[in-house]
């Protein structure tokens, strides 16, 4: 594993956290831990936790300490995975516009220190999650393994299926939240996992289309770069279509929820099908990506409305 090569401006000894004359800004720290990923995943952790309380008739206030353990522990595990992703990708991040300012790419944070911080954050997070429930800790560790080992180290630079493999880690947050309250499987939790798993492929393939040249330059075999935009568009539409029946398996949340999600899925499918007639493919990719960002917000809001 050749991840400890020197980065320009970084101390060769690796004993210092920061390189000489480095001053980390808030933006640097956010890029280091990937706050966007942490926030979106914690939103789904809380959604799973909230639904588990609802279906088990448990009191929110009686379980406030479990919520703190779950959110804090999950945040540390997610941050640990993101930091280790930055450590492993420090050689290709400088090639891509959206990643070139990460402190591990610029050499502001030494790679050995990054490895220690990422590992430590993960271990601490798992330990805190064990205070919530063993099941929550195991699920979080499984998601971390999928992201760091199966995605970052194994498939990202080798196979176009890297998106599907990475989606496993992005789908487990609601299961973590649910397991913190109730370790027994439930159809709503399983379907929420499936929604999160399927949602990520259209989201990331649209991003891959937008950043196609950057991924090519970095040598990452994203599906649009390898098989072309036409194939990627078909895959996006197929995945969106797979979302259509899933809300009906969550009928326990009520007719209003199923109706909202059906309208949301239908609108996304129509947007996807429009890609076969729109001439500006990048504009269409932007539409799919923008829709995907709002999809999660509508999903979570609809779930809260259905359970209050």
How large is the C-alpha radius of gyration of the chain? 20
Q: What is the mean pLDDT of residues 130-145?
A: 98
* Per-residue confidence (pLDDT) for residue 234, from 0 to 100: 97
Q: Please give the mean pLDDT across all residues of the chain.
A: 92
CB-CB neighbours of 229 under 10 Å: 19
Domain ranges of the chain: 24-184, 186-308
Backbone angles phi, psi at 111, to 5 degrees: -65, -45
Evaluate whether 66 touches 132 at the Cβ level (below 8 Å). Answer: yes
Query: Which has the minimum average pLDDT: 23-37, 227-241, 289-303?
Result: 23-37
Residue 116 makes CB contacts below 8 A (sequence gap 6+) with none
* Per-residue confidence (pLDDT) for residue 23, from 0 to 100: 77
* Per-residue confidence (pLDDT) for residue 15, from 0 to 100: 45
Q: How many residues does the chain have?
A: 308
Is the model's pLDDT at 22 over the cut of 80? no
CATH class of 24-184: mainly alpha
Q: What is the mean pLDDT of residues 196-218?
A: 96
In the numeric block, the tokens 């502001």 are attached to: 108
The Cα–Cα gap between 27 and 103 comes to: 10
Is the model's pLDDT at 14 over the cut of 50? no
Is the model's pLDDT at 13 over the cut of 80? no
Is the model's pLDDT at 3 over the cut of 70? no
Query: Which of these, 226, 237, 228, lies nearest to 201 by C-alpha position?
Result: 237
> For 50-98, what is each residue's pLDDT tens digit?
999 999 999 999 999 999 999 999 999 999 999 999 999 999 999 998 8
């Amino acid at each position: 594993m050749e991840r400890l090569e020197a980065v320009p401006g970084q101390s060769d000894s690796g004993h210092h956290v920061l390189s000489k004359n480095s001053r980390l800004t808030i933006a640097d720290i956010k890029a280091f831990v990937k706050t966007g990923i942490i926030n979106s995943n914690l939103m789904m952790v809380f959604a799973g936790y909230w639904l588990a309380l609802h279906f088990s008739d448990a009191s929110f206030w009686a379980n406030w300490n479990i919520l703190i353990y779950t959110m804090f522990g999950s945040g540390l595990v997610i941050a640990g995975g993101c930091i280790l992703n930055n450590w492993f990708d420090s050689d290709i991040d400088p090639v891509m516009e959206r990643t070139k300012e990460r402190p591990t790419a610029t050499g502001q944070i030494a790679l050995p220190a990054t490895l220690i911080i990422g590992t430590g954050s993960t271990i601490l997070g798992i330990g805190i999650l064990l205070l919530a429930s063993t099941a929550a800790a195991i699920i979080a560790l499984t998601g971390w393994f999928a992201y760091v080992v199966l995605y970052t180290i194994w498939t990202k630079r080798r196979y176009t299926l890297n998106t599907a493999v990475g989606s496993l880690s992005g789908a487990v947050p609601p299961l973590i939240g649910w397991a913190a309250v109730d370790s027994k499987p439930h159809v709503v939790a399983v379907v929420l996992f499936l929604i999160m798993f399927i949602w990520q492929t259209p989201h990331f393939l649209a991003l891959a289309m937008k950043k196609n040249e950057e991924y090519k330059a970095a040598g990452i075999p994203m599906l649009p770069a390898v098989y072309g935009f036409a194939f990627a568009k078909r895959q996006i539409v197929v995945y969106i279509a797979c979302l259509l029946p899933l809300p009906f398996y969550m009928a326990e949340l009520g007719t209003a929820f199923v109706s909202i999600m059906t309208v949301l899925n239908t609108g996304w499918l129509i947007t996807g099908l429009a890609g076969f007639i729109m001439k500006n493919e990048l504009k269409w990719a932007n539409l799919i990506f923008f829709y995907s960002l709002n999809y999660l917000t509508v999903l979570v809001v609809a779930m809260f409305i259905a359970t209050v």
